Amino acid sequence: MASKQATTETSQDIGTRIGVRTRSLSEDRLKYTRQLGATDIFVDHADTEEEPDEFNDRDGAQTVSVGRDSIPSVAELNAARERVESAGLSLTGIQSLPYSLYGDIMFGREGSEKSLDQITSLVRNLGEADIPILGYQWNPRGVVPMRTSPVRTRGRALGTGFDLAELDDTDALAPGLDRKYTESEFWENYRGFLRVVLPVAEEAGVKLALHPVDPPVIESLGGIPRLFRNVENFERAMSLVPSENHGLKLCLGCFSQMGEDIPRVIRRFGERDQIVFIHFRDVVGMVPKFHETFVDMGNFDTVEVVRTLQDIEFDGVVIPDHVPKMAGDDDWRHRARGFTVGYLRGVIDTVRSE
């Protein structure tokens, strides 16, 4: 009879497995991640407002820098992959493109061609370095707020929150804009992006993974269309330029915010093999007012969701995304992230053994 350790190690390497997103690739961060039983790493391009990530070069931390005029070379990506693999983990992808790389394309501004050149260079380099996934979104950062006031959840842990009523004037133009943009403009610019980037992704063997707009509220906010706010618009995105190298970074929290039936969404896209990887988080409430919480106490049933992933034979990575800040957490929220990884591992192993 195989030992429990051997059985668990094997079970995490097939079907649904657990990864983390991190900017730091320090030795301690990678050791901690492997000790939790996670198997995959997605590199964050930079800190985010919801999930600041402690990053200190004096501590020996390393990362992959991705941004405008900062495209990692094949050699840099290979070095990062080898560093991750030496810790017993897989460098599976770049978590997301920074807004500095796709913003000009989204708005159809001068600089779009340069941005497309840099993104396609990144895709080619990822392919050559055997890093198979590039996440992205179509959502301006730093232009309209992703969250408003934080909320205390279980044991007074701090979770991010959003309440549309806290925004002063949703019709006012966002800072830096001189006019409102239409949905048709944004769809056309998005189609142009796909037409250029997807053929390169197919050639490179890299999958692009689209994240929902967050928060998925109203059609336009601050003069900016919120394209990926519902299931129907994701279906349109997948059909604009059909490709087996295009799918969803399925953020369960965002679809929960939309009020969607999460198992139904998983079946809808999973049975078409359009789920590349998953952000596993949840919220209490839905737009226009919600707050993030622990993964075991939100809108949806975590066990039912994992059973659905098992039913569709999902073979990919789930990532704890935004997590509440617990007592004693560092900026990366290592305690809350550790709780989430452990909880999900327990649910996945239990469902797998049923």
Q: What is the DSSP track for 117-129? A: HHHHHHHHHHHHT
The first and second tokens of residue 200, run together, are 């390169």
User: Taking the C-alpha atoms of 160, 166, 169 and 174 in order, what is their torsion angle to the nearest 10 degrees?
Assistant: -20
What proportion of the chain, given as a percentage, has pLDDT over 90? 79
**Is 50 exceeded by the pLDDT of residue 1?**
no
- Per domain, the residue ranges of the chain are 4-353
What's the rounded mean pLDDT across residues 235-264? 97
| Own/partner pairs, 74-78, CB within 8 angstroms, 24+ separation | 74/125, 74/128, 74/129, 77/125, 77/126, 77/128, 77/129, 77/131, 78/129
Q: What sign does the dihedral 250-50-129-124 (CA atoms) show?
A: positive
Contacts of 271 (CB under 8 A, 6+ apart): 312
Q: Tell me: pLDDT of 278 over 90.
A: yes
For 88, the token pair is: 């017993």
Gap between the Cα atoms of 67 and 100, Å rounded: 6
Cα–Cα distance between 231 and 28 in angstroms, integer?
Answer: 39
What does the mean pLDDT of the chain come to? 91
Segment 34-38 mean pLDDT: 98
CATH topology of domain 4-353: TIM Barrel (3.20.20)
Beta bridge partners of 220: 225
Q: Which of 13-27, 55-69, 279-293 has the highest mean pLDDT?
A: 279-293
CB of 313 closer than 8 Å to CB of 273 = no
Distance CA 228, CA 95 (A): 18
**Dist. CA 47–CA 24, nearest whole Å:** 10
